[in-house]
Amino acid sequence: MNYNQTVVRWGTTGTPLVFLHYFGGSANSWQWVAEELRADYQCIALNLPGFGGTQPLEKPSIETFTDWLAQTLKQLNLYNPVLIGHSMSGKLALNAAAAYPKLISSVILVAPSPPTQEPMEEEERQRMLNHPNKKEAETTVEQSSNRRLNNKQKSLAIETQLVVNHQTWKWWLLEGMNHSISDQLSKITIPVHLLASSDDPVIPINLLQKDLKVLPQDVKEVITQDIGHLIPLEAPKWLAIEIRQLVNAG
């Protein structure tokens, strides 16, 4: 597998959809969703700095990740795409919408990290700080998902964790997930949508709904059941259908 690509593409025509992966994932974590959408949309998935084998940021922060994202969109001549952020990248997508309102047409949050602070027991944090460790990566995948992943999906979910830059990994667990951007949400003027599961074992749905009430506009919510946190891997067809409906509705 090539871990030196910042950008992975599927499809060449239609509305550009920019996919941002979860903590421990990579651009290829979106491949099953993109395969469902590539006939009608430009699907562009990014490997964030420090993930997927890409060069890490010298000083990772919510702000430096946001600036990197804006610069990358400009370099790719992607103006007004739909920005789709899963988990960690949900927080990054919201911050980008606040900081660069003219660069993005709308945001779709998929089981996002809350704009305030993402809850995690200290014992679990310490377990995950034991990185890279294949056994712990397997445990993380098992604990995060409710539906059985096929062999390719499970192998990818484990492998992508192991190649994350260690300093970037530590930053998110110790700082990034606790960094609140709630004071920035009032600046967001573009549509924001939420796709999530009430059975997500990682992110409580009630916390998301509470945090997103700070937004100046109503958030369209699509809440499902039975699916875990790794929605792009567990239920790519369902997710693709919901993304398609949101994008087509404008």
Give me the residue spans of the domains in the chain: 7-249
Q: Does the structure show a pLDDT above 90 at 43?
A: yes
**What does the pLDDT look like over 220-242, one tens digit per residue?**
999 999 999 999 999 999 999 99
- Say if domain 7-249 classifies as CATH 3.40.50.1820: yes
Q: What is the pTM of this model?
A: 0.97
Mean pLDDT rounded to a whole number for the chain: 96
Q: Are 22 and 225 in contact (CB under 8 A)?
A: no
- Predicted local distance difference test score (pLDDT) of residue 205: 97
Q: Do the Cβ atoms of 51 and 131 come closer than 8 Å?
A: no
Neighbours of 142 (CB within 10 A): 13
Looking up tokens 């609140």, which residue turns up?
Answer: 180
pLDDT at 1: 43
- Is the pLDDT reported for residue 11 higher than 70? yes
pLDDT given at position 115 = 97
What pLDDT, on the 0 to 100 scale, is given for residue 250? 75
C-alpha 66/C-alpha 85 separation (Å) is: 12
Question: What is the rounded CA–CA span in Å between residue 240 and residue 209?
Answer: 22
Residue showing tokens 């460790």: 133
Asked if 103 contacts 96 with a C-beta cutoff of 8 angstroms, the reply is yes
Q: Rounded to whole angstroms, how far apart are CA atoms 70 and 99?
A: 9
**Residue-level pLDDT at 4:** 53
Task: Name the token pair of 76.
Answer: 């790719």
Q: What is the pLDDT of residue 2?
A: 47
End-to-end CA distance of the chain: 35
Question: Which residues sit opposite 20 in a β-bridge?
Answer: 46, 85
With a pLDDT cut of 90, the percent of the chain lying above it is 96
CA distance linking residue 33 with residue 1, whole number of Å: 19
Residue 3 confidence (pLDDT):
47
**Are 92 and 99 a contacting pair, CB within 8 Å?**
no
d(C-alpha 21, C-alpha 86), whole Å: 6
Q: How far apart are the C-alpha atoms of 204 and 198, rounded to whole Å?
A: 7
Reading the block at residue 167, the tokens are 């300093």
79 band by pLDDT with thresholds 50, 70 and 90: confident
Neighbours of 218 (CB within 10 A): 10
Two tokens, residue 164: 């994350």
- Rounded to an integer, the average pLDDT of 82-88 is 98
Q: Averaged over 192-202, what is the pLDDT?
A: 98
Here the tokens at position 132 are 């890279």
What are the pLDDT digits (tens) for 114-172?
999 999 999 999 999 999 999 999 999 999 999 999 999 999 999 999 999 999 999 99
**Average pLDDT value for residue range 50-54:** 95
Six-digit token string for 166: 């260690």
The secondary structure of 62-79 as a DSSP string is HHHHHHHHHHHHHHTT--
Buried b (16+ CB within 10 A) or exposed e, 189-211: ebbbbbbbbeebebbebeebeeb
Residues across the chain:
250
